Amino acid sequence: MGCAGAVPARQNRPTSMSNRKDQPVITLYPSTGILSRLLKKWGKACKAVFGILIVLARVSTELYTGPMLWRAMIVMSCLVLGWSGWSSAAESVQLNVRTEPAGGVRATATIFFPVEPAIIRRIVTDYAHWPELFDVRMRMAEIREQDGKVFTDIRIDHAMLPGERRLLSETRALPPGELLTELKGGDFKQYRRFWKLSPIDGGVHTQAEFDLLVEVDSTMPDWMIALAMRRDLESHFRLMKEKALAQSKPIQSQ
């Protein structure tokens, strides 16, 4: 409805909205030119709306079950409504999320944290409290440290995906100030996360480089995973910043 244009009707068109001679005869029909102008005007938000329509269209291909479609529509609606909040939340974050030609979604980011690197490292390696750093529901089923490596079994319940997803991964420290997490099993085809924490401003602040590659074992298309990942990561970095500032206050008060 919002993507239809009003144009004068041609002769012999029976779909006029009025038969009065003093009013123009109007016909509604979709126009590629109008769609193009809408995309330019509303940008990403309009594209996301059309994404919902694409998902609906794919029901006929039986790629999605009813519950999966319902979840996808809820997530897409939240993404569209929350788009304006993304830009305001990304003031200290330069984030790029894209689909990979070979499969999966890659996210790279440069994040400024107004605390020293030791605090960020402590938060990132506090595996028992990882669920506090995400808006997505998750739980730590197992945490095991051996030979300088930390094995984690995480159960993730994401609104976009049906059921609980299992992520088995192993994290190890790489000097200087680097952390690498790699996939060991579960419901993912690919998972690799890399952090590099560098001191700036005389060591009182942190510049973090972040690289994440994810491919979920699911029929959900990568472009939809990418939309959700962007929103999840922006929330993740915000929660990290809030926790870092809370932990730095006792240090600053001493």
pLDDT in tens, 167-188: 999 999 998 899 999 999 999 9
What is the domain partition of the chain in residue ranges? 4-30, 86-249
State yes or no: pLDDT of 50 exceeds 60: no
Q: To which residue do tokens 């029976």 refer?
A: 14
pLDDT at 72: 52
Peptide bond connecting 176 to the previous residue in cis, omega within 30 degrees of 0 = yes
pLDDT at 86: 41
How far apart are alpha carbons 195 and 23 in whole angstroms?
65
CATH number of the structural domain 86-249: 3.30.530.20
Is this prediction's pTM over 0.85? no
- Assign 92 a pLDDT band (cuts: 50, 70, 90): confident
pLDDT at 9: 45
